[in-house]
């Protein structure tokens, strides 16, 4: 502390400071008014110890020191206030201790009475538990431990779904796209090369895959069109076209699904656009004749439906066959085998719950199959596709020749599954019993598959079948 300037009034709580620095009067420069004090360091230490440990406080029953009359007169003359220790000044609430006897008083006491010997107490600060802190890293060098046998690797925990970012990619145990046979086909199962696009004709771009579906009355519809493995590898667009539309509503409504595909030897770009145009042309003709077709379909008028639908289908197929001009690199249809010509097939259904029939019709290669009680039936040819006892299917030479126009009125029977498809799926179903069995086993469940599951099931791969696949399936409750 620094006491500069004129000395202020003496406060009782400042006496401890002068008590500590007492000495001969007038000998200390900073305390000119100091008076002589005979207290020793041990007395100061004892007073301080009493603050922390009551056991070391001075005895209260110690008789106060007795001085001579001369000493008392001298003290009265100087009028010096009683001195307090620094501990009493700092903590006034504590009861002041008795003054320690002076040397003169001790000399005057009888020799038989000895002052109590007070040993310097061991002052211990209050125990404060330190806060729990993290252990600092050890700086000691690690001890060399004997080599131990490697522990057995723990089983791997299944990783999170692929949607979690940062998760390492691991090849799935089962292939995403199923296949028939011991090994999958040579082509990749997923899209690889994108088709080349024209910046002035971006409206003609066709996606790799198209999926559609609907639910009306007691019918569930699933439709899909997939680019073939060969076109994916060569970077060619999908040639098959898929169109699903609804005309009208309530009992007069019609649901139409159109599947179109150009000839196998047609140019990829032209064939894709021609298939889309043919599907739209046929759908527009059906929509304009919606009222008549809905009445005939509800009544089951086979002949009337056959005649009207044949006229509409052949007109729409003319553009797909290149008979209307403007076709590029389209070989004559007469020079092609029947299975390589253009195909256009449709499935017409009524939204009336009382309707009992569906009309399937088309031209060119393709298939209309009926799955009933686990057996595949060729509905166009009205024959059993695969023998239930596992015998091989009929050889290709025994199959009936394709007619210019094919038509079938199929009754809507609960539990039946009606499948209409282009040659890319019709051929493996007819020629590979394993493909037909794969689909029948997955569709044996009482509920129809979702659109994503239906897409995966239609993609079942088999060697030698790499063309586009377009299919529409109908489940009846």
Task: Give residue-wise pLDDT tens across range 367-384.
Answer: 999 999 889 999 999 898
Query: What pLDDT, on the 0 to 100 scale, is given for residue 303?
Result: 93
Q: How confident is the model at residue 49 (pLDDT cuts 50, 70, 90)?
A: low
Q: Which pLDDT score is estimated for 102?
A: 47
Overall size of the chain counted in residues: 477
Task: Please compute the mean of the pLDDT values over residues 308-331 and round it to a whole number.
Answer: 77
**Rounded mean pLDDT, 390-417:** 76
- The per-residue pLDDT for 386 is 76
Nearest to 467 by CA among 225, 135, 215: 225
Would the pLDDT of 411 be above 80?
yes
Per residue in 172-213, pLDDT tens? 554 577 877 777 778 888 889 999 999 998 988 999 999 999
pLDDT of 243 higher than 70: yes
The mean pLDDT of 22-39, rounded to a whole number, is 52
Answer yes or no: is pLDDT of 108 > 80.
no
Q: How confident is the model at residue 58 (pLDDT cuts 50, 70, 90)?
A: low
* Percentage of the chain lying above the pLDDT 90 cut: 40
Question: For residue 306, is pLDDT > 50?
Answer: yes
- Report pLDDT for 222: 98
What is the average pLDDT value for the chain, to the nearest integer? 75
Low-confidence winner among 27-41, 175-189, 268-282 (lowest mean pLDDT): 27-41
Q: Quick one: average pLDDT of 241-269?
A: 92
pLDDT digits (tens, 9 = 90+) for 351-363: 998 888 999 999 9
Is residue 146 predicted with pLDDT exceeding 70? no
Residues 227-238, mean pLDDT to the nearest whole number: 92
Domains annotated for the chain, with CATH where assigned, are 12-108 (no CATH), 202-476 (3.60.40.10)
How large is the average pLDDT for residues 87-102?
53
Residue 360 confidence (pLDDT): 97
What pLDDT does residue 186 have?
A: 82
More confidently predicted of 401 and 29: 401
The predicted structure's pLDDT at residue 254: 96
pLDDT tier at 80 (50, 70, 90 boundaries)? low
pLDDT at 23 over 60: no
- Determine the pLDDT at residue 264: 82
């Amino acid at each position: 502390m620094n006491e500069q300037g004129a000395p202020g009034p003496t406060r009782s709580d400042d006496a401890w400071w002068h008590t500590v620095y007492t000495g001969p009067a007038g000998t200390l420069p900073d305390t000119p008014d100091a008076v002589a004090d005979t207290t020793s360091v041990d007395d100061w230490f004892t007073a301080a110890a009493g603050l922390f440990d009551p056991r070391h406080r001075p005895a209260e029953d110690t008789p106060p020191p007795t001085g001579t009359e001369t000493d008392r007169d001298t003290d009265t003359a100087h009028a010096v206030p009683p001195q307090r220790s620094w501990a009493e000044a700092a903590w006034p609430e504590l009861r002041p201790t008795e003054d320690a006897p002076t040397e003169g008083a001790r000399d005057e006491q009888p020799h038989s009475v000895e002052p109590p010997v007070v040993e310097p107490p061991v002052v211990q600060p209050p125990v404060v538990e330190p806060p729990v802190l993290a252990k600092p890293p050890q700086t000691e060098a690690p001890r060399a431990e004997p080599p131990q046998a490697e522990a057995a690797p723990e089983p791997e925990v299944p990783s999170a779904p692929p949607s979690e970012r940062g998760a390492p990619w691991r090849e799935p145990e089962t292939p995403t796209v199923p296949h028939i046979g011991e090994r999958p086909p040579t082509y990749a199962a997923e899209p690889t090369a994108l088709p080349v696009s024209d910046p002035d004709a971006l409206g003609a771009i066709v996606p790799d895959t198209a999926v559609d579906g609907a639910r009306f009355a007691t019918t569930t519809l699933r439709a899909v069109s997939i680019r073939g493995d060969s076109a994916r590898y060569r970077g060619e667009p999908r040639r098959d076209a898929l169109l699903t539309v609804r005309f009208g509503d309530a009992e007069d409504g019609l649901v139409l699904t159109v599947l179109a595909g150009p000839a196998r030897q047609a140019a990829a770009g032209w064939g894709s656009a021609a298939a889309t145009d043919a599907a739209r042309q046929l759908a527009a003709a059906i929509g304009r004749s919606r009222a008549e077709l809905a009445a005939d379909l509800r009544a089951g008028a086979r002949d009337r439906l056959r005649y009207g639908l044949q006229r509409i289908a052949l007109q729409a197929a003319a553009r797909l066959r290149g008979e209307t001009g403007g076709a590029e690199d389209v070989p004559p249809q007469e020079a092609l085998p029947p299975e390589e010509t253009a195909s256009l097939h449709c499935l017409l259904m009524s939204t009336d719950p009382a309707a009992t029939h569906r009309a399937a019709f088309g031209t060119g290669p393709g298939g209309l199959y009926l799955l009933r009680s686990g057996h595949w039936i060729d509905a166009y040819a009205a024959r059993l596709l695969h023998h239930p006892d596992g015998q091989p299917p009929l050889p290709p030479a025994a199959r009936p020749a394709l007619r210019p126009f094919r038509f079938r009125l199929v009754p809507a029977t609960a539990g039946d599954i009606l499948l209409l498809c282009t040659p890319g799926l019709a051929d493996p179903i007819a020629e590979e019993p394993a493909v037909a069995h794969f689909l029948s086993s997955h569709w044996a469940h009482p509920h129809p598959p979702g659109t994503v599951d239906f897409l995966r099931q239609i993609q079942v791969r088999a060697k030698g079948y790499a063309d586009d696949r377009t299919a529409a399936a109908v489940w009846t409750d």
